[in-house]
Amino acid sequence: MSIEKDINQKEFKNAFQKVYINLMYTNSWMQDLSKTWCKQFDITQQQYNVLRILRGAHPHCMNPGSIKQVMIDKSPDLTRLIDRLIDKEYVQRETCGSNRRKVDVLITQKGLDKLSELDPHEDGILDTVRNLSEEEANQLSMLLDKLRNSRED
């Protein structure tokens, strides 16, 4: 279906408005799919994102500021998010040896096991983009990178 049909809008001011609205609509659609997928495994999208970030750093720990910098959704209260992951025993907090005021977060074996459980099921969520060829997927990624890099913060 086209964006025009999806949102019941016949025309746009220009191609830039159309791509903006299409990106926003598609993002919302993908977020809904991802929320449904995560809910099946009793985890939120943000928790999944943090676990994947910490797995990438494993066996090293990361401080919350470094985690937040690379999160997809930077808006959640990271302290509460980490607290929930600690309650599930997926991560643990450690006091930094060189600076006792600094706290680091480390993924636990239970957290690694949870991601191992989720990894084979991730293909189901990736099916949403499998109607693209590999070349199209690479091109779309390149265009999205270009779009984000157009406004240096």
pLDDT tens string 30-71: 889 888 888 999 999 999 999 999 999 999 999 999 999 999
Is residue 134 in a domain?
no
pLDDT value of residue 82: 94
pLDDT value of residue 152: 63
Rounded alpha-carbon distances, angstroms, from residue 116 to 43, 91, 111, 119, 144: 14, 15, 9, 5, 29
Whether 90 and 66 share a structural domain: yes
Whether 34 and 77 share a structural domain: no
Is residue 89 in a domain?
yes
Whether 49 and 76 share a structural domain: yes
Mean pLDDT (the chain, rounded):
90
Whether 106 and 70 share a structural domain: yes
Closest Cα partner for 49 from 35, 59, 32?
35
**Domain membership of residue 54 as a residue range:** 43-117
pLDDT value of residue 74: 81
